[in-house]
Amino acid sequence: MKGRRVLWGGAVILVLAIGATLALAVPALPDRKPDIPSTRVVRGPLKLTVYATGELRAGRTATLVAPPAGGTLRLVKLVPTGASVKKDEVVFEIDPSDQEFALAQAKSEVAEAEQQIVKMKADTAVKAAEDQVALLTARYDVRRGELDTVANDLIGAIDAQKNVLTLREARGRLAQLEADVKERSVTNQAALAVVLEQRNKAQLAMQRAQSIIDGLVLKAPFDGVVAAKENRDAAGNFFFGQTLPEYRQGDTTSAGRAIVDVIEAGRMEVRAKINETDRDNLQAGQVAKVQSDALPGETFTAKVGALSGLASKGNWWEVTAIRQFDVSFAFDNPDPRLRAGSTVRLMIDGRGIKDALQVPRQCVFEKAGKTFVYARAGDRYERREVKVTNSTESRVVVTGVNEGDVIALIDPEIAAKRSKSSSPIAGPSGAAK
């Protein structure tokens, strides 16, 4: 009996020694699987409250641009940003010196053409009178020659021949004179037409210069607030991200440049982008609560206005399966402290769903333009594609899962990678690091 006890004691000591050796030699192994938080798909009522971020905009905005005057234009007057203007009040004015010079030159050309026309008409009248006298004289010579030839039978042959030659010469001179008068009349008319065209051209140049001068004064089309544009000509070559100064009085610009915006006063609306899953929750006339960071602690009321029928897919650098719609919200009585361009937060009480299959919002993931959840299948999670039909700030109504399914609150693939990277690794001596 004593020998057996000694034998059993030695066996226990040997087992303990082997266990200790293995514990030091074998590296620590990670858990079989990471602990992933999960929840269940539930069915129940859900209030579809829509949250969005929007931008305050004026009811109308008019952009005033530099007129097509040509060359470099200088702003001699410009109402500063934030100033209020009335309808037909001057917003900015461009130096008219160049156009005034062009107008004076055109007027001078018109006056010169008018004098040339008067002179040409007078010269033509004098020459026409001279031609009439010459024609009368030539016709008289022809008539006298004709009378002289009547008596040729009564005079000698030599005198008769002289009368015939004189008559022939007189007729030739009359024919030549008539041709010259006709040609001179055509020439005078052509010369007068050229001067008249020069006068018309000068008059058009004068009218154009006057029209440009009138267009150098830009007025407000309605009551509003002035917002000066960025002066892109101020920094030469423009680089992306560079901050540019606004147009100021005395700056130079070129034709066609946008100088200022006139934002209509007394009318204000909010423009926001709403996901397509939330658009069905909105109807025209619904009340929305509006909060602005510029006026903390105050809440304003607006109503859902026009709902865009055309969706956009976001920016070119964003890849998302959820499209967005532009929605406008109108104020019945806009607060004068609200300024266009400010960012606001919107909360719209949408309709309610009595029997909604819903999950927490963080359970739904999006990759490569598809939405899915991770549903438990045995001892692992598998990706299951779903369709989001409605959503709120914290809950999502989906199809593609069943009530009671267990789904992960985080991405199991990412959790597994983190678990592996945080597992201890055995060192060279067998001890865990």
Distance CA 21, CA 28 (A): 13
Our measurement of the distance from residue 66's CA atom to the centroid of its chain's CA atoms, rounded to an integer in Å, reads 17
Tell me, what's the pLDDT at 430? 40
Work out the pLDDT band at 410, boundaries 50, 70, 90. confident
Nearest to 349 by CA among 127, 110, 52: 52
Work out the pLDDT band at 357, boundaries 50, 70, 90. confident
Residues 6 or more apart in contact with residue 361 via CB below 8 angstroms: 391, 392, 393, 394, 395, 396
Distance CA 375, CA 379 (A): 11
- Residue-wise pLDDT tens digits, 88-123: 999 999 988 888 888 899 899 899 888 988 888 888
Asked if residue 227 has pLDDT above 50, the reply is yes
Work out the pLDDT band at 319, boundaries 50, 70, 90. very low
Tell me, what's the pLDDT at 26? 41
Alpha helices in 363-421 (DSSP H): 412-421
Distance CA 406, CA 413 (A): 16
- Residue-wise pLDDT tens digits, 384-396: 899 888 777 788 8
Tell me, what's the pLDDT at 246? 86
E runs forming strands in 167-247: 217-219, 224-228
Beta strand pairing call for 324-330 and 299-312: antiparallel
Hey, where are the domains in the chain? 38-57+267-421, 63-95+216-264, 103-196
Asked if residue 241 has pLDDT above 80, the reply is no
Helix (H, G, I), strand (E, B) or coil at 84: strand
Asked if residue 25 has pLDDT above 50, the reply is no
Tokens encoding 142: 């022809």
Helix (H, G, I), strand (E, B) or coil at 246: strand
Work out the pLDDT band at 412, boundaries 50, 70, 90. confident
Q: Contact, 211 vs 88, CB < 8 A? A: no
CATH number of 38-57+267-421: 2.40.30.170
Q: CATH number for the 63-95+216-264 domain, one of 1.10.3470, 2.60.40, 2.160.20, 2.40.50?
A: 2.40.50
